[in-house]
Amino acid sequence: MFWKFDLNNTSHIDQLLDREGVTLRELMEEEDVLQECKAQNRKLLLFLSKDHCMQELVTLITEEPPADLEEKTRFKFPNIACELLTSDVALINDKLGGDESLLEKLYHFLEQEPPLNPLLASFFSKTIGNLIARKTDQVISFLRKKHNFISLVLNHIDASAMMDLLLRLISCVEPALLRMEVLNWLNEERLIQRLTELMHTGRDEERQSNASQTLCDIIRLSRDQANQLSEVTEPDPLLAVLESQENVAELLKNMFEGERTEASVVNGTQVLLTLLESRRSGLEGLMDLYSQGCERSYTVNSSILRAIEPHIKDFQQLLLNPPTRSAILTTVGVLEQPLGSARLHVARLVASLLQTCDLSICQEICRLNTMDLLLDLFFKYTWNNFLHLQVELCVASILNHSAHADLQNPGLQNHEERPATGTGSQVEEGTPGQNSTSDPANTPIQDLFQHCRLVQRILGAWEENDKIQAEGGRRRGNMGHLTRIANTVVQNLEKGLAHSQISDLIKELPEDCRGRWESFVGETLRETNRRNTVDLVSTHNLHSSSEDDDMESPFPNDLSIQQAFSDYQIQQMTANFVDQFGFNDEEFSEHDENINAAFDRIAEINFNIDADDHSANAAAFEACCKERIQQFDDCEEEEDIWDEKEINYATQIKARSRYSTWMISCEGSPGQKAPLVGSDSSSSGGSDSEEDPGENKTEGSPKTPANQTTAPMR
């Protein structure tokens, strides 16, 4: 019975290899050939490493299979061949990396005319990439001898596999000294400049996209490796070129020269955004902006900003006249003129530029009236949360750094009047001093309140939304971000670095507008914040669909909830944390003078537990314990616990009855009666109900009737 299983360890592949005349195709038909290869099957590895087998494997991944084969099996063998060649087995790596004829056969794949078969290109890239990591010296030496290698790779950049190959050359070469040699070689081949040239508006969109992605990845990889490899003192030559003013200027020239297509704008702007990256993206980056103000984890090279500055006007034109897009059908109706990726990327770029706190850049944005245009778009495209976030970041950046960056520069006075841009459809008409031309020496914060009329826009949009909802309409999709913008204004007015400047600008508002603003801050905004904060502490409201935050799009829009929760999460864990956990009933009715009191104090939650509190319940519990423990305390002499004695169950039942009745009265359930377990009618005795519940009764008490019967054992 113990030997019914066949314990023969000889695999079917071993049996095939023992047969004379076995072919590579026969072995590749076996399902476990890859497992046997990775398991270092010696017979199989020796067979695969034979010259004719290696030649056949390389041929399979570099030459098109016959077109007459069935489609689902056409690339079966090329796929298996690639897996065998990249199985990371030393014998195969040594054979492939050390045989120049095999490397030549691989390299010949690049010499084909584009386009390459994308599947074969991925097999080729994976195989070469594996050799770069495992047989670095041999492969790098071979590739450096090929003077047209970079040209051939860029010629096929429309295949994403070629992009992967370039990134492997940059990131997978060890040690650091050899890696620096490779970077210098790629720099000598002008890799960055040639990728930048591919960003020209006249290029194929697929090439533009892959070139853009490659440049972005090189920037991130180079910066990450510079941070990790602290022992390397020599700067990364590729990153130095990427951040140079000449190269950024060339990129911008290629973006705007000729017809401005959406693809060229988007792809080029993605590279600029990567160069300007200074913090994590998404919600964490948003929280960083509010908590750190103008501090940046990475200092942007000034050469990048100097190259971008002359072209801000070109991005401004894109906001006014974007590439044409056809109407699209959305869940809220037909959008005749979509915002488009080009304008969204311009908004992202403006937000990133403002976050640099660069004096000259902020002045140019102010002069061109860019914020007014972005606010126009904010109120026009009420359902585009991606745009709303970028405009919010722009406003926060201006309010956060305007006080400690001296943006008053006499050089601005040499500029002409600001161009008449923006429709201002959401702005109230007839306010004195608010026209399309304002003082060119204004700081961005003055521009925001005076020319862009931020306060008037907030009030007008809020009142219009209230009117729509009162008529049964849907809440506008930008109201969550508008709430956060309003809160940012109030926060900076109360305790921000620019509070005095904002206060003066608020006082300069027309009297009726100032009154409406004060009423809005003291009532409407306060109530919105209170509601959002209360929703935060309700698990049901957080997980259920809410009219206030889930109406506009798949993304929650009342971001004040997210901000409050973030503030709560990062509070310091101190010794008095327990004393700060909880909500006071009056939490949201205090501090009327501060609109953000509820948000500012959300981390000051108060939940006090006094272990020494002697309440009525504690006294009752103590009395109960004494009653139950007294029977041991009243014993006048020690008794042998093992001594056999008669047990009187009736006495215990009476005590239990008294205890149950007392507990029921304490819990406030007069309609219930304590059950009498295990006693007959004669033993229930009316005397129990007349006894004082607080009086201690023990076994052997003199008050026990002499004729009391005992309960039967059950």
More confident residue, 221 or 644: 221
Q: Give the pLDDT band (50/70/90) at residue 627.
A: low
Its pTM surpasses 0.75:
no
Rounded to an integer, the average pLDDT of 27-35 is 91
Q: Give the pLDDT band (50/70/90) at residue 119.
A: very high
**Cα(first)–Cα(last) distance of the chain, in Å?**
53
Which 3 state secondary structure label does DSSP give 335?
Answer: strand
Instruction: State how far the Cα of 359 lies from the Cα of 367, in Å rounded to an integer.
Output: 12
Instruction: State how far the Cα of 46 lies from the Cα of 594, in Å rounded to an integer.
Output: 80
Amino acid letter, residue 317: Q
Inside any domain, residue 565: no
Place of tokens 């941070």: 227
Q: Give the pLDDT band (50/70/90) at residue 710.
A: very low
Q: What is the pLDDT of residue 145?
A: 93
Token digits of residue 417: 């009047």
Look at the chain and report how many structural domains it folds into. Answer: 1
Instruction: State how far the Cα of 661 lies from the Cα of 690, in Å rounded to an integer.
Output: 12
Instruction: Show Cβ contacts of residue 654 under 8 Å, excluding neighbours closer than 6 positions.
Output: 685, 688, 697
Q: Is the sign of the CA dihedral 244, 248, 249, 254 positive or negative?
A: positive
Rounded to an integer, the average pLDDT of 244-255 is 95
Instruction: State how far the Cα of 692 lies from the Cα of 698, in Å rounded to an integer.
Output: 14
**Domain carrying residue 95:** 16-189
Inside any domain, residue 73: yes
Inside any domain, residue 56: yes
pLDDT digits (tens, 9 = 90+) for 575-596: 444 444 444 444 444 444 454 5
pLDDT digits (tens, 9 = 90+) for 335-360: 888 999 999 999 999 999 999 989 99
DSSP assignment of 88-124? --HHHHHHHHH-HHHHHHHHGGGGSPSSPPHHHHHHH
Share of the chain above pLDDT 90, in %: 49
Nearest to 488 by CA among 500, 480, 496, 478: 496
Place of tokens 């008669």: 646
Token digits of residue 147: 């003077």
Q: What is the mean pLDDT of the chain?
A: 75
Instruction: Show Cβ contacts of residue 112 under 8 Å, excluding neighbours closer than 6 positions.
Output: none
Q: Give the pLDDT band (50/70/90) at residue 385.
A: very high
Instruction: State how far the Cα of 18 lies from the Cα of 94, in Å rounded to an integer.
Output: 25
pLDDT at 410 > cutoff 90: no
Inside any domain, residue 478: no
Place of tokens 């990048």: 304
Which 8-state DSSP code applies to residue 411?
A: G
Rounded to an integer, the average pLDDT of 298-306 is 85
Residue 233, number of CB atoms within 10 A of its CB: 6
Q: What is the pLDDT of residue 260?
A: 81
Q: Give the pLDDT band (50/70/90) at residue 184.
A: very high
Q: What is the largest CA-CA distance in the chain?
A: 118
pLDDT at 638 > cutoff 60: no
Inside any domain, residue 344: no
More confident residue, 150 or 619: 150
More confident residue, 279 or 394: 394
Instruction: State how far the Cα of 75 lies from the Cα of 689, in Å rounded to an integer.
Output: 92
Instruction: Classify residue 131 as exposed, middle or buried by CB count within 10 Å of its CB (0-12, 13-18, 19+).
Output: buried
Inside any domain, residue 386: no
pLDDT digits (tens, 9 = 90+) for 214-247: 999 999 999 988 877 665 568 899 999 999 999 9
Phi–psi pair at 330, nearest 5 degrees: -115, 175
Residue 317 CA, distance from chain mean position: 31
Decide if 485 contacts 403 (C-beta within 8 A).
no
Instruction: Show Cβ contacts of residue 710 under 8 Å, excluding neighbours closer than 6 positions.
Output: 647, 648, 649, 650
Inside any domain, residue 21: yes
**Lowest-confidence pick of 79-93, 186-200, 329-343, 554-568:** 554-568
Nearest to 193 by CA among 226, 158, 259, 240: 240
Rounded to an integer, the average pLDDT of 617-643 is 58
Instruction: State how far the Cα of 501 lies from the Cα of 587, in Å rounded to an integer.
Output: 31
Instruction: Show Cβ contacts of residue 518 under 8 Å, excluding neighbours closer than 6 positions.
Output: none
- Which residues share a beta bridge with 330? 333
Token digits of residue 550: 């889930």
pLDDT digits (tens, 9 = 90+) for 312-337: 999 999 999 998 888 888 887 888 88
Inside any domain, residue 639: no
